[in-house]
Amino acid sequence: MHVREALLARKSVRAFLNRPLPRAMIEQILDAARHAPSGANTQPWQVAVVSGAHKQALQQQLEHAFEAGMPPRMDYHYYPRHWHSPYRERRQACGLQLYQALGIDRHDRARRRQQWAANYRAFDAPVFLFFFLDAAMEAGSWIDYGMFLQSLMLAAVECGLATCPQAALAEYPDIVRQSLGYQENTVLLCGMALGYENREAAVNHYRTPREDVHTFTRFFD
């Protein structure tokens, strides 16, 4: 598979098959992703691979926190505090596509809440991935981490696997750190669902649009 093909094939999958992943396959993907660039070769990524009984226990804790009304307390602000154009409209369109694919009316708060709760199960994928960063690292390492995450997702595509990068899995970082034994001086950046796509699920049939190159690029000759 060519890189361009993998880039076009990658998408955020929100319904997975109940099919376990061999550890060797997960290690193969991580082995490819570790070649992502990082400033001064710092390689700041710390990855937790969670499956089986440990995943079941952790997702129950996360879902319980959500259902109990515990406010999310991410280690950082993922989204802007105040939305403005064009980002506000893109966000709204993204949410509308999701709920239309699921057949959920925008006013059906109960079903929307149920769908959001599925985030904390990684949409029933067999594997959680959690990504930690030493809190001493600065913004450059966050850029490095983005390249690592994209490398991992492209490697997964090549292996016939699906992913969904999830900020929601970082909403209760203290629960995750305690469950996995990570120290308080680590930042939980995000999580990721990893598994085999359920190709029959309607939620996996839509694709969010991307802006044309000339809308975000200026050429200086």
- The mean pLDDT of 117-131, rounded to a whole number, is 97
70 secondary structure, DSSP code: P
Task: Look up tokens 């993204």; give the residue.
Answer: 94
- The mean pLDDT of 172-178, rounded to a whole number, is 98
With beta carbons less than 8 A apart as the criterion, state whether 15 and 197 touch: yes
6-27 tens-digit pLDDT: 999 999 999 999 999 999 999 9
pLDDT higher than 90, residue 194: yes
Q: Three-class SS of residue 75?
A: coil
Q: What is the pLDDT of residue 219?
A: 96
Q: Three-class SS of residue 155?
A: helix
Which residues lie closer than 8 Å to 63 by C-beta, 6 or more apart? Answer: 117, 120, 121
The confidence band for 1, taking pLDDT boundaries of 50, 70 and 90, is confident
Q: What is the pLDDT of residue 106?
A: 82
Q: What is the pLDDT of residue 107?
A: 87
Cα dist from 78 to 167, 171, 182, whole Å:
8, 10, 21
pLDDT higher than 90, residue 198: yes
Q: Domains of the chain, with CATH numbers?
A: 3-76+120-204 (3.40.109.10)
Q: Which helix (H) or strand (E) holds 194?
A: strand 186-195
- The mean pLDDT of 136-143, rounded to a whole number, is 97
pLDDT higher than 90, residue 172: yes
pLDDT averaged over every residue in the chain? 96
Identify the weakest region by mean pLDDT among 69-73, 102-106, 130-134, 181-185. 102-106
